[in-house]
Amino acid sequence: MEPVKTEIGITAYGAYLPRLRLQKQAIADANAWFDSSLKGLAKGEKTMCNWDEDTITMAVEACSDCLGREPLQEHAALIMASSSMPFLDRQNSVVVAEALNLNTSGLRTMDVASSQRAATSGLLSALDIAAAGRGDAVLVASEHRRTRCASREEMLYGDGAAAVAVGTDGVLAEYVAGYSQAIDFVDHYRSDGKDFDYGWEERWIRDEGLMKIIPKAVESLLKNAGVRAEEIAHFVVPTEHAAVPAKLAKVLGIREEAAADNLLQSVGLAGAAQPILLLAHRLEQAAPGDLILVVGFGQGCDVLLFRATDAVQKQRPTLGVSGNLSLGRPESNYNKFQSFNNLLEKDLGKRAEMDKQAYLSVIYRNKGLVNSFIGGRCTACDTVQMPKHKYCVNPECGAYDAQVDHPMAGKKGHVATWTADRLTFDYNPPAYFGLVVFEGGGRFLMDMTEVDPENFDTGAEVSVHFRIKQIDSQRGFRKYFWKAIPAQ
């Protein structure tokens, strides 16, 4: 009797794109006096992180879109892929896991970096974990790369994140086959101690790299899987060369209409996150039975083949790529973009000179609140409070040591009081903060971000999100906490 084959594949997916969308024309207008060729790249917009966003905060958002906000979810592994992680020696994926309030007992965490195919390699590892019967795994890819002013990369690079969960239950895209090839083809690089990428000549990258390395890898995978090229319904090739996906499709015998839109005019090139972001976008459009071919390119090539199941049109993320695209807010202030990315030296004023040293022992002792936004619920009277304390705040109860953990990260709230302070230092003044009263109980005085002053007042609905609280520029440490964001 032959063993029963277990179906392994993608069980959920999600994405996150910053709300700010820098108009590319603003970049060209500021720099065309120096390089007139930038005008040719000035179409559309690109995603732009707020000052309090980075690869960690975007990864948390993408995973939340993928997994939801259920407390203490059980997963075997969380893998984070990026070439722009904020910490070189502090595991970034652990911060993401705690912000998601995952059950970290027995959880494997891993950071995968140093290549534009970090995400596809990480996804292959996640699939291996699921195939070995160790449990579900999550791969999140997030990217926030800095670029030189007036550079081609500044026109092209965008910020974003995407996540996929893999396992055996509720598979919406079955994993069919994978293939990897390692080749030290250097299209660009960033050395230790350098802030910006150094890219090589475009035609060389296209003709010797993309058009030669990818076809060999794809042909090997299709042969091994017994799949004909014309059967491919979705062909994901992350590249800044807009015409390359269609050219590759023609060379390989894949239908031209299968080539995925790279979102270059609406998102930009999101580095290592791009293949997963495009995969998530195509999953939104896939029909049952569709074959989805995903390429990861960088010092070689990863190729993964998935087949959409009947569940692909039933299991949807809260927002996904399409939902995030619809929430964009145009930004034409090029100076703001430079400031948020620390590309120029500004006089931040005397109030910015305060020492922002992070007391690591205090952060650790309070990590339930700081990282996971855990409050307390009284077992004697069910009163919810923030933060969790020994005594119940209900004056009619006051029970001692009766608090249990109560996750608050997914709760909606309303603004009870607020102020816009221009005396307190903020990278994007004025600094908004106020009292938020949560549905189901609990209230908390907290910072607010991405406030639209024209549509904000007392009573506004808010949700809470993991963001950068402060940056200790002296020691290079970032303090994270939760902020309230008004509903759109």
- The CATH number for 426's domain is 2.40.50.840
Residues 45 and 180 in one domain: yes
Count of domains in the chain? 3
Predicted pLDDT at 425: 87
Residues 309 and 192 in one domain: yes
Residues 326 and 433 in one domain: no
Question: Is residue 99 in a domain?
Answer: yes
Confidence bin at 25 (pLDDT 50/70/90): very high
DSSP state of 352: G
Q: Which residues contact 109 (CB under 8 A, 6 or more apart)?
A: 77, 78, 79, 80, 91, 93, 94, 97
Residues 403 and 422 in one domain: no
Predicted pLDDT at 282: 98
Higher model confidence: residue 306 or residue 2?
A: 306
CATH number at residue 297: 3.40.47.10
Predicted pLDDT at 3: 40
Residue range(s) defining the domain that contains residue 429 = 351-373+409-486
Question: Is residue 2 in a domain?
Answer: no
Q: What's the mean pLDDT when you consider all of the chain?
A: 94
Residues 476 and 401 in one domain: no
Which tens digit of pLDDT belongs to each residue from 378-395? 999 999 999 999 999 999
Which tens digit of pLDDT belongs to each residue from 63-78? 999 998 765 578 999 9
Which tens digit of pLDDT belongs to each residue from 346-356? 777 777 777 78
Which tens digit of pLDDT belongs to each residue from 431-468? 999 999 999 999 999 999 999 999 999 999 999 999 99
Question: Is residue 346 in a domain?
Answer: no
Element (H, E) at 377: strand 374-378
Which tens digit of pLDDT belongs to each residue from 406-428? 999 999 999 999 999 998 889 99
State the DSSP string of 199-254. E--HHHIIIIIIHHHHHHHHHHHHHHHT--GGGEEEEE---S-TTHHHHHHHHHT-
Element (H, E) at 300: strand 300-308
Distance CA 66, CA 13 (A): 5
Residues 75 and 153 in one domain: yes
Residues 228 and 238 in one domain: yes
Parallel/antiparallel/unpaired status of strands 20-23 and 329-331: parallel
Question: Is residue 428 in a domain?
Answer: yes
Residues 127 and 268 in one domain: yes
Residues 94 and 221 in one domain: yes
Token pair, residue 205, equals 């990258």
pTM across the whole model = 0.96
DSSP state of 69: S
Predicted pLDDT at 1: 34
Please count the other Cβ atoms lying within 10 Å of the Cβ belonging to residue 289.
12
Question: Is residue 3 in a domain?
Answer: no
